[in-house]
Structure 1
Amino acid sequence: MKVLTGLDVLINDKELQSKFSGNVALLCHNASIDANFTQAAVKFKEIFGSRFIKMFGPQHGFSTDVQDNMVETDHYVHPFFKIPVYSLYSETRIPTDEMLEGIDHFFVDLQDVGCRVYTYIYTLTLLLEKCGTKDIQIIVLDRPNPINGIDVEGNITESKFKSFVGRHPIPLRHGMTIGEVGLMHQNLWAKTKVNFEVVKMENWERAMFFEDTKLPWILPSPNLARAESTMTFSATVFLEGTLLSEGRGTSQPLEIVGHPKIEPYSLYENHLLEIIKKSKLEGFVLRPITFLPTFQKHANMVCGGFQIHVTNKSRFKPWRTGQLILRELYHVLGEDFKWKQPPYEYNHTQMPIDIINGTDKLRHWIENNEPLEILESFESLDDYKEQLNAIKIY
């Protein structure tokens, strides 16, 4: 049975619509569509008319057309809707008092990817914190976690490595919908609670991957054009903390890894094949490839590397797989391997890889070539799973 998103539920329920009698704002992006591919803002104009007064966009912009980290988007008046569009990835990531003026109901309709470093969940929690002293209702129109709501994986972010890619103590693969992130925020992290509501999906089950929902996939950021990429994202996002290519500038970003100094076939046959066997990691195949990025890292240089093909999503462990690949390439490339230097996501002092990992211990694990079994010690998730169980709404 096809899943109905929170947006679809709102569109289909006149009684629910009538609960929101004041002025309305919408935080959305390119992937904020209904089951018929109609953009949420179009439906809001139909439903709320002149009470629909403001729109907001997250990182990558309202139109999801901005490529990279720390590339900000401007505020403007939309030429069709004739209302302001405010960027929450601009000179500020927190809505200002002026931006929020006149709003009674603030809707959030964003497609998350289930990974801690994806910033849309923090745009939501910053909004919740800002509205703690305001008479504004926050409503999340919920959407699926595309990599399911059961599996959690990775270390918990340490407090000293908090950032805009890791504001809260959650694992890399967090197992929540964006609505549940809001509920966890209100339950555990909020100093002042707000009038908060989640419009639940219908027919979504926690074991679903995105293709099980029968919903259309629209890229939620410029380099996640395929739903399949959400599974590899939690493995390849670590490469943002290095000068290895994660495939940006190709047609398969965040599914591939490479570097100009890699000869992929010999590296795979003589090294990685045996390492992967010993690791007992399953559910994926590394396919040796060469590729030519047209922009970003190693632009217009032929790179050797690998595409990660996920063959069994239920068995694939992206966090562990990504850490293993990073450890091996660190030692194989030697002096040609470079950690990216600050700044990264507005942090000008700490190493980007440590910000992404939420700890510096994993970088030391990589540099010291420590055994894969040690990774288990980073995953102390019992407390987190209890917290997750307390706020689950599906």
Structure 2
Amino acid sequence: MKGNTLHLLTWPLFVAIFTLQGLNCHTVKTGAEILLERSSADLYGKKVGVISNPTGVLPNLVHTVDALFAKSLQSTSFKLCAIFGPEHGFRGDEQAGKGGTTSIDVRTGLPVFSLYGKNTTEIKMLFLSSGVDLILFDIQDVGTRFYTYIWTMGNAMEAAGSVGIDVWVLDRPNPLTGTVEGPVLDPAFASGVGMYPIPLRHGMTVGELAKLFCSKFISTPPVLKIIRMEGYKRNMSFEDTKLPFVIPSPNIPSVHAAFAYNGFGMLEGTNCSEGRGTTLPFLLVGHPEFDGNLTDSLRIQANRGLLQGAQFREAYFIPTFSKYEGTTVAGVELFLSSDTSPLEVFLAFIIQARSLYGEKACAFSPYFDYLAGSDKVRLQIEKGASVQEILRSFEADIVAFQELASSFLLYD
């Protein structure tokens, strides 16, 4: 116990010295960095809770929570009361579909509560019991509708608004840029992987989404403040920002995986392997009954000028967990350029696989429709629609969404 006390007393001083040093080598300043550099005085008198995970770091990789904890001990002008984690947990040690249990953070000694899987009433009770009057949200999203962090944010804002707790979103880049693509969610298919009618690739930052959600979808919105980024442009890739990429979940180990996930995440709703249990999830994909003909078929389409920027390597792998654990899976390794549409490549993959190997080798589960946001994509594939026909079917909804979202965009 004495050793832990010494750790908590000496470590914040170290963080305070190094937190804001060496941060000028990057192009974009995140909302977290702006808050700590210039806006921390606005926290005066606040009892703060933070929703975050391993991605909530400053450019020198010090966690925002750790830096805020150090600052609160130094100034005592505000109190950091609690930490709230999304799916995969605050420190990122949980697999998919898990959020962890209530615990004490070993770094700060603060209580950690999981918000994953909880409804707004349960979240409201957690906020009230922890004594917070301000929630900070600092998580790097991946830009895909069915990634759960933005829905944790939505539920948290609804809960906070119902009991008069303010919410500040510390904005971060959208690694998929501002491009908008894919099916818009049908509210009849609302779930934990999609609550509001936004496209699969929504093209917005978490701060912009927070403004949209509070204005259009949340019945009791909180007082919302967005700590905007500086230097960010909508057409920036994540590499352009010069910010470090911290894995947002165990199976998104790289920017390339995050990009491919925008299409191939839907394989979670099929009996094909999305590459979990390998070192390249969402980039190694396949099924035990596939063979090299699938790679050849996709290459032919690419050579005809379709699937812009995509290349395919015939691949074989044995997952160490998840689907087909311990079984040889045949398929492809994806090489996607920044100009590629991951959704277009996914549709080509699924259509070709079903054509070559039959429906049983690429079967849909009910979960697929929730990932896609409706049953329309599945029904079109089953009826034999082409990739381009399916993509064209999204166009009117995308135009309507872009008109709706335009009022909430913060960056050029």
TM > 0.5 fold call: yes
Distance (whole Å) between structure 2 residues aligned to residue 91 and residue 199 of structure 1: 26
Distance (whole Å) between structure 2 residues aligned to residue 43 and residue 371 of structure 1: 51
Does 2:305 match 1:305?
no
| One of 249, 258, 271 as aligned partner of 1:243 | 271
In structure 2, the residue matched to 1:383 is: 400
| One of 174, 185, 194 as aligned partner of 2:213 | 185
Task: Give the alignment of 1:146-165 within 5 angstroms.
Answer: 146-149=175-178, 151-165=179-193
Distance (whole Å) between structure 2 residues aligned to residue 60 and residue 229 of structure 1: 17
> Aligned in 2, Cα 1:98/1:216: closer, same or farther, shift over 3 Å?
closer
Code of the aligned partner of 1:383: A
Distance (whole Å) between structure 2 residues aligned to residue 278 and residue 372 of structure 1: 14
Q: Is the 8 A contact 2:85 2:99 kept in 1?
A: no
Does 2:40 match 1:7?
no
Q: Is the 8 A contact 1:86 1:99 kept in 2?
A: no
Code of the aligned partner of 2:234: R
Does 2:402 match 1:374?
no
CA apart distance, 1:173: 0.3
> Aligned in 2, Cα 1:160/1:18: closer, same or farther, shift over 3 Å?
closer
| One of 345, 361, 368 as aligned partner of 2:376 | 361
Task: Give the alignment of 1:336-351 within 5 angstroms.
Answer: 336-339=360-363, 341=365, 351=366
CA apart distance, 1:330: 2.2
Q: Is the 8 A contact 2:294 2:353 kept in 1?
A: no
Code of the aligned partner of 1:152: V
> Aligned in 2, Cα 1:377/1:98: closer, same or farther, shift over 3 Å?
closer
Q: Is the 8 A contact 1:156 1:379 kept in 2?
A: no
In structure 1, the residue matched to 2:307 is: 281
> Aligned in 2, Cα 1:10/1:91: closer, same or farther, shift over 3 Å?
closer
TM-score scaled by structure 1? 0.91
Task: Give the alignment of 1:290-301 within 5 angstroms.
Answer: 290-301=316-327
Distance (whole Å) between structure 1 residues aligned to residue 143 and residue 368 of structure 2: 19
| One of 362, 367, 375 as aligned partner of 1:352 | 367
Q: Is the 8 A contact 1:293 1:301 kept in 2?
A: yes
Question: 5+ residue gaps in structure 2?
Answer: 1-25
Deviations 1:97-121 (A, max 9, x none): 2433421111000010000001100
| One of 306, 319, 323 as aligned partner of 2:347 | 323
> Comparing both structures, which one devotes a greater share of its residues to helix?
2
Code of the aligned partner of 1:367: E
In structure 2, the residue matched to 1:36 is: 60
**Cα RMSD between the aligned structures?**
1.7
The share of aligned pairs that are identical, in percent, is: 31
CA apart distance, 1:273: 2.6
Q: Is the 8 A contact 2:30 2:228 kept in 1?
A: yes
In structure 2, the residue matched to 1:201 is: 229
In structure 2, the residue matched to 1:77 is: 104
| One of 151, 155, 158 as aligned partner of 1:122 | 151
> Aligned in 2, Cα 1:386/1:248: closer, same or farther, shift over 3 Å?
same
Deviations 1:46-90 (A, max 9, x none): 122361010000001111122223x34111122332221000115
Q: Which moved more, 1:108-117 or 1:328-337?
A: 328-337
Distance (whole Å) between structure 2 residues aligned to residue 196 and residue 58 of structure 1: 20
Code of the aligned partner of 2:379: H
Question: 5+ residue gaps in structure 1?
Answer: 342-350
Q: Is the 8 A contact 1:3 1:203 kept in 2?
A: yes
Does 2:242 match 1:214?
yes
Q: Is the 8 A contact 1:279 1:372 kept in 2?
A: no
> Aligned in 2, Cα 1:322/1:305: closer, same or farther, shift over 3 Å?
same
Distance (whole Å) between structure 2 residues aligned to residue 355 and residue 55 of structure 1: 29
SS in 2 for 1:140: strand
Q: Is the 8 A contact 1:103 1:136 kept in 2?
A: yes
